[in-house]
Structure 1
Amino acid sequence: MSSLLKEDLEKKLFKPEGHTLYAFIEIEGTPKERYFLCAAVTKYEEVQICMVKHYRIHLEETYEVTEIWLLKDLELIDGKDADADNPYFDLQFGKLYNWEAYSCASKYAFARSLVQLNEMYIQKDIQIVNFDMAYIEDSAIWSSNNGDCLVLMRICFYASNLLCLSLCPIP
């Protein structure tokens, strides 16, 4: 589903402008409207982060960019709580914007993408707080396309360990 959605977003919104969609996540909206945060590289190699509104007119899927920020203006990525499985995060571009991702895994995937884009195009010092940095930092295991699956696998592993520990009798 997400690869089809990415293709549709690219075809209808980014390719006509000469941009390349690098990453996107669904963020909470209303029941009738869907919103996405997208990270795209422009034809001039600027990295944009944009909020895209999705709506349907008759049977046609339509996308509209409602706001654009530049990665070079990003000062802070705040995951809200590194020790909890939560989808909330903030991005600060001078002004602080609060978001709720569709899932914690998608929040981490988007943060990883922003870090990778920063390393590739800008090399700016962006403050990253309240994330488990083992899931954000670019290493051989995370640079693969299976990064999201590995995040989920580790979360499940830690959760199963906690469950086992909670079932053990305390002497």
Structure 2
Amino acid sequence: MSSLIKEDLEKKLFRPDGQHLCEFIETEYSESSKEKHYLCAAVTKSREVQISVVKHSKLGLDDKYEKIKIWLLQDLKLIDGKDPDEDNAYFDMHLDKVYNLEAYSCASKYTFTRCLLSLNDKYYKNDLKIVNFDSTYIDDSNLPSNKGDCMFLVKLCLYAFNLLCLSLCPVSLI
């Protein structure tokens, strides 16, 4: 579902402005239950990274997206994850003022933060402070590389399946 939303956001809102949407998460930005809000990270043609809050509303069968707040990543001073020892989706972004946000899940909070760190390293190399996050899940090098693990598991499953098939086949002696 999220890949369809990302494709729709990119097609209707970001691509017409010449931007590439890198990551988005659903957030609680207001009390309105009729509208959804997304926190987005996008790269512009001039290679600036923008963080925006996008309001998503329905007009009949059509989806309408509107950027209601835009900041530059280079203006982000601090991301505060609130409590690294607790599974929560709350975080603060320190920009021109402190913005209190709630992600859809704790995992999406970490995903978005990793994306911002990666974009900062790629385009700005600023000292972006990250506090109150579990560093195990923030640093990409700490995350297990599952490509090799997946291939190992696939091979193991195929081997087990072959053994099962062979054990069920009747053996005929000539």
* Structure having the higher Rg: 2
Give the one of 42, 46, 49 matched to 2:48: 46
Q: Distance in 1 between matches of 2:144 and 2:67?
A: 29
Deviation at 1:138, TM superposition (A): 2.4
Is residue 25 of structure 1 aligned with residue 25 of structure 2?
yes
Give the alignment's TM-score, normalised by structure 1: 0.81
Retained in 1: the 8 A contact 2:137–2:143? no
Give the one of 120, 129, 136 matched to 1:118: 120
Deviation at 1:134, TM superposition (A): 1.1
1:12 is aligned to: 12
Is residue 71 of structure 1 aligned with residue 73 of structure 2?
yes
Retained in 2: the 8 A contact 1:135–1:142? no
Q: Distance in 1 between matches of 2:15 and 2:26?
A: 20
List structure 1 runs of 4+ shifted beyond 6 angstroms. Answer: 142-145
Deviation at 1:69, TM superposition (A): 0.2
Structure 1: give runs of 5+ residues left out of the alignment.
146-171
Deviation at 1:34, TM superposition (A): 0.3
Task: Report Cα offsets for 1:123-163 as digits up to 9, x if no partner.
Answer: 00011100001111121746889xxxxxxxxxxxxxxxxxx
Q: Distance in 1 between matches of 2:17 and 2:146?
A: 28
Question: Which residue type is aligned with residue 123 of structure 2?
Answer: Y
Give the alignment's TM-score, normalised by structure 2: 0.80
Retained in 2: the 8 A contact 1:77–1:127? yes
Task: Report Cα offsets for 1:11-67 as digits up to 9, x if no partner.
Answer: 000000000000000001421010000000001000000000000011100100001
RMSD over aligned Cα atoms = 1.6
Structure 2: give runs of 5+ residues left out of the alignment.
148-174
Give the one of 65, 79, 85 matched to 1:83: 85
Give the one of 96, 99, 104 matched to 1:97: 99
Counting matched residue pairs gives 145
